[in-house]
Structure 1
Amino acid sequence: MSFLTDLIRSIWDRILDNKGKVTSTGGFLFGIIVTLALKDLYPDLEASYRRRIRQLRGVNIPHPLPGQTDYVRLEDHTRRNSKIITDPQDVRRTHDRDSVEVIPVGIEGLIGNTPLIKLGALSEAVGCEILAKAEFLNGAGNSPKDRVALSMINHAEAEGLLVPGRGDIVYEGTVGSTGISLAAFAPIHVYLPVWFIIVDNVVVMKLILHYNRCMPNDVATEKSTLLTNLGATVERVLPASIIDQDQFVNVARRRAEGHTSSTNQKGQGFFADQFENTANYLAHQSTTGPEIYAQCSGRLDAFVSGAGTGGTISGVALALKPLLPNLKVVLADPQGSGLYNKVKFGVMFSSTETEGTRRRHQVDSVVEGVGINRLTANFEAGMGLVDDAVKVTDEQAMRMARWVVQREGVFIGASSAVNLVAAARVGREVGKGGRVVTIICDSGTRHLSRFWKGVGELAVSGEEGSAELNLILDMEK
């Protein structure tokens, strides 16, 4: 091989003219010689390549983490850990028994332990790490209400208020998510028609199911449609104040009481009462909060969440504050809600109640699931641990939803958008090196007819990236 190399080099030197150019005749001869030499050179080159591959095999070079530039090399695909396994004994040896995850039992096995994800584009634009608990990945109703619904049913069974197989019916007043979760769980626990009260022109849809729900009529149609497909009885009523006996929560309570006192119906009626049932916040105190702490390795500067029933923010605050005394807990509150002023100034008051601007329906917002004008038992449980509040308008929430889906690829719902606006504002205050955790409650697929319809009607700002985000965050409150 060294002889051929010396010969080629000698010929090459001779065929160069004084100007450093290759003559046509010399170039032709050189090509012939190199071609003839390949038959002798190739075996040596192949042997060298195979030795290199054997050296690489078995060497565990880790793949790069996100953000690193040491990309996977071609040789990585030839290593032992990526070969096709055909021998059953190899399968047993390859998969360590201790590393195999336990297979969940039923849909209840998919509740909780949701991932905590970093929103890269939002974090970069804000200058602070923004982490989101992906509660939309809960397996039954795809929202944090899965935890709540399961907790309320389990507590009711423990107290004898629900008995599987007795013919009991679960009743609830809801705007969607809690009802969907209850409708998923009730049949598993062998309960009869679930009954939901939904606000909407007092149209009663009789579908015998395992859950009965009372629902306001200004709720996205996707939610009520999903409930009926889950088999629930959905009763729609008009929007009303909580002091009105025909308010959707009060109607659900009355239906449950009527069932229990009836001599014509089997079993009993159980009013889930998500707003006042403390099994709500206890679910988050015992699961969501500890999960966040573990996933962050105990390092976070702020937790941001909206409040409807108040269970999430109270439960998480009660779990984290004893472990992280300096943690800042911040309420994200949509327009029309009075909780912002309650936290900031100690008075339950919304700007929509100002004289001359009072509305028939106070929580007049396209945002569903958060915001309220009364104190609930669940919010009161942790209210003393809430340090601050951020007010978020509908336009801010809608523009944030569009910003996030375009840059993060996450199609969020209305309450999630409110959370992210508030988290981004808190993140700007926390600054570089800080970490803010919030909740992505549910997917935008349940908000198409109202919230995302509004998003589609928004004019384009003309700004891009962080400039557009700052425009959203700095909009007049």
Structure 2
Amino acid sequence: MNYCENILETIGNTPLVKLHRVSAGLPCPVFAKVEFFNPGNSIKDRMAVRMVEEAEKRGLLKPGGTIIEGTSGNTGMGLALAAIIKGYKCIFTTTDKQSKEKVDILKAVGAEVIVCPTNVLPEDPKSYYSVSRRLATEIPDSFYVNQYDNLANRDAHYEQTGPEIWEQTDGKITHLVVATGTGGTITGTGKFLKEKNPDIQVWAIDSYGSLLKKFFDTGELDMNEVHPYITEGIGEDFVPQNYDMSVIDHFEKVTDKDGAVMARRISKEEGIFVGYSAGSAMAGLQQLKHKLKPTDVVVVVFHDHGSRYVAKVYNDQWMMERGFLDVKTVKDVVNSRRNLPLVTIAPEEKVHEVIAKMKKFDIEHLPVLKDGQIIGAISEGGLFSKLIDQPELKEAPVESVMHKAFPIVAMDTPIEKLAVYINKENGAVLTQDDTGAHHIVTKYDIIQALGN
């Protein structure tokens, strides 16, 4: 029988996958270390278990104790899995910028989760760092993990992640790219790889709003660099002790938008459903492509799974609200027509009058309006088939030949999604603007919009 004694034995030995479409334009092969194959769906499983085991060895965590940590979600998941197997309780603090999925997942595996404000300094009593430290002093038999300064974090990657990448690339790796937060992954993995080959370049990807790059470049802790940002799991407003900046060769900043857009591209173009930080890492690598040559071999760490960002990065509405999704919407179509008034017909009008209106305004679809309400619709195609069989219908009132009203969609609906509504039987949709006025969008409008 070939089996694992428990779920913790499945951690590590994640696959290395060659990228094709999102690496287009790069002069060398690029490989992704896909860490969501770990049981907690992220690279944090590695260091979470390592930190728990180290605490047990040092007598800091005793049977029946409580694990306490501030986490953006993924470390908490790894700690929760370890706690389940080893018989501990968990209390995690996190920030209100983290996805709801992360919080729900932590609760699903038995953890208590306390959500704290994002936009406060680390030393603020309300910050998730401060709350977790305070709880550790108040709760008996508790252990504050402190992934930021707990060096077992980087040790896990020195012992596991680095050797795996070295073996999987047959020692041919020339560049390691990591979107970095606590510093454990990039420091531990980079240290091992540089011991094997000092020429390997280690590139850290940071976020605008984080002070890590400025600190790396100048040695200065500049709080003016710090401002709220949306990207999850990377960047910091202080420098964790897990960092050994001598291991890192370059820091590159990536915008919230570029990271989110690239994460969606990786999922759609490579079939690898990744989290936000993977998008940032890949976007950062694209920004640095001028530093690469054909003989290089690049490994990019894909930290976690896209299921934790379904309501954010993978939600069109969320992306559009932040200006991250460059898509044309119904509003764009309406605005391109300079808000021309909607041509409508009344139910008592005669069919021949409708035909005259269609010719006059060169339109195929007309809503039927009664007392300010849309009650039906007339389309040229449907009218044509009826008149062929029954020419006398030209004198009939519209309400006797109209079909059901066109669907009404929101102004911010992406054009691509209108295919659900517009088909052979239904050639248009309606929308309402902020003033309550109706507008029509037809197949022709969509073709025009997509062609521009």
TM-score (ref. length: structure 2): 0.68
Q: Distance in 1 between matches of 2:207 and 2:45?
A: 23
Consecutive aligned runs of 4 or more in structure 1 exceeding 6 Å deviation: none
What amino acid maps onto 1:238 in structure 2? Answer: P
Moved more, 126-135 or 115-124: 115-124
Give the conservation status (yes or no) of the 8 Å contact 2:97–2:232.
no
Q: Which of the pair is proportionally richer in strand?
A: 2
Which of 20, 39, 48 aligns to 1:120? It is: 20
Between the aligned residues of both structures, percent identity stands at 33
Contact 1:427–1:435 under 8 Å retained in 2: no
Structure-2 residue corresponding to 1:224: 103
Please state how far the C-alpha of 1:227 moved relative to its aligned partner. 1.1
Task: Verify the 8 A CA contact 2:8 2:81 in the aligned structure 1.
Answer: no
Equivalence for 2:171: 298
Asked whether 1:439 is paired with 2:295, we answer no
Q: What SS does the corresponding residue of 1:348 show, helix, strand or coil?
A: coil
- Do the aligned residues in 2 keep the contact of 1:349 with 1:373 (CA within 8 Å)? no
2:136 aligned counterpart, secondary structure: helix
**Structure-to-structure mapping, 1:99-110, within 5 angstroms:** 102-110=2-10
In 1, Cα distance between equivalents of 2:161 and 2:227? 27
| 1:287 equivalent among 160, 182, 195 | 160
Q: CA deviation at 1:428?
A: 4.1
Amino acid at match of 1:181: G
Give the equivalent residue in structure 1 for 2:229: 365
**Once the two structures are superposed, what CA deviation does each residue of 1:225-252 show, in whole Å capped at 9, x if it has no partner?**
1111111111222232112122111211
Matched residue, 1:394: 256
Matches within 5 A, 1:308-387: 308-349=181-222, 353=224, 362-379=226-243, 382-387=244-249
| Match status 1:133 vs 2:33 | yes
**1:423 aligned counterpart, secondary structure:** helix
Tell me if structure 2 keeps the 8 A contact 1:307–1:313: yes
Q: Given that residues 427 and 434 in structure 1 are in contact (C-alpha distance below 8 angstroms), is that contact kept between their aligned partners in structure 2?
A: no
The answer on whether the counterparts of 2:264 and 2:279 sit within 8 Å (CA) in structure 1 is no
Q: Deviations over 1:148-188 (max 9, x none)?
A: 11001100110111123xx2111111111111111121021
2:131 aligns with 251
Gaps in structure 2 of 5+ consecutive residues: 329-452
Counterpart-to-counterpart distance in 2, 1:425 and 1:299: 22
| Partner residue, 1:27 | none
Q: Does 1:172 align with 2:172?
A: no
Partner of 2:397: none
Q: Does 1:159 align with 2:21?
A: no
For 1:459 and 1:308, the matched residues in 2 are separated by 25
Find the partner of 2:272 among 410, 426, 435: 410
- Counterpart CA distance in 1 for 2:26 and 2:221 is 31
Secondary structure class of the residue paired with 2:257: helix
Residue aligning to 1:90:
none
SS of the counterpart of 2:203? strand
* Aligned pairs for 1:50-69 within 5 A: none
Using the TM superposition, name which of 102-111 and 302-311 deviates more: 102-111
Q: 1:180-219: CA deviations, max 9, x gaps?
A: 111121021011xxxxxxxxxxxxxxxxxx2101111221
The structural deviation recorded for 1:325 is: 0.8
Q: CA RMSD in A?
A: 1.9
1:327 to 1:187, Cα distance in 2 relative to 1, 3 A: same
- Distance of aligned partners of 1:296 and 1:426 in 2 relative to their CA distance in 1, 3 Å threshold: farther
Structure whose CA Rg is larger:
1
How far 1:429 sits from its partner (Å)? Answer: 2.0
1:450 is aligned to 312
Alignment of 1:184-203 (within 5 A): 184-191=81-88
User: Does the 8 Å CA contact 1:130/1:427 hold for their aligned counterparts?
Assistant: no
Partner residue, 1:31: none
Aligned to 1:171, the other structure's residue is in SS state: strand
What is the CA deviation profile of residues 346-400 of structure 1, one whole-angstrom value per residue up to 9, with x for unaligned ones?
32337xx26xxxxxxx452221110002111101xx2111111111001111221
User: 8 Å contact 2:19–2:31 — kept in the other structure?
Assistant: yes
Partners of 2:301 and 2:319 in 1: CA distance: 20
Range with greater deviation from structure 2 (142-151 or 299-308): 299-308
Output the amino acid matched with 1:369. Answer: G
Q: Which amino acid aligns with 2:27?
A: G
CA distance in 1, matches of 2:24, 2:56: 47
Q: Which residue of 2 aligns with 1:94?
A: none
Letter in 1 for 2:20: G
Deviations for 1:100-132, whole angstroms, at most 9, x for unmatched residues?
9x5322111110111111112233432221111
1:461 deviation in Å?
7.4
C-alpha offsets along residues 267-324 of structure 1, whole Å, 9 cap, x if unaligned? x011111111111000001100011101111111111112211100000111111111
Deviation at 1:456, TM superposition (A): 5.6
Shift of 1:402: 2.5
Q: Secondary structure of the residue that 1:122 maps to in structure 2?
A: coil
> SS in structure 2 opposite 1:288?
helix
Establish whether residue 211 from structure 1 lines up as the match of residue 111 from structure 2: no
Number of positions where the alignment pairs a residue of Structure 1 with one of Structure 2:
323
What is aligned with 2:391? none
CA–CA separation in structure 2 for the residues paired with 1:394 and 1:143: 20
For 2:42 and 2:6, locate their aligned partners in 1 and report how far apart those are by CA, in whole Å: 17
CA distance in 2 between partners of 1:310 and 1:219 (Å): 19
- 1:430 is matched with which residue: 292, 301, 310? 292
* Equivalent residues of 1:330, 1:390 under 8 A apart: yes
Which is helix-richer, 1 or 2? 1
**SS at 2:92's partner residue?**
strand
Aligned counterparts of 2:230 and 2:12: Cα–Cα separation in 1: 28
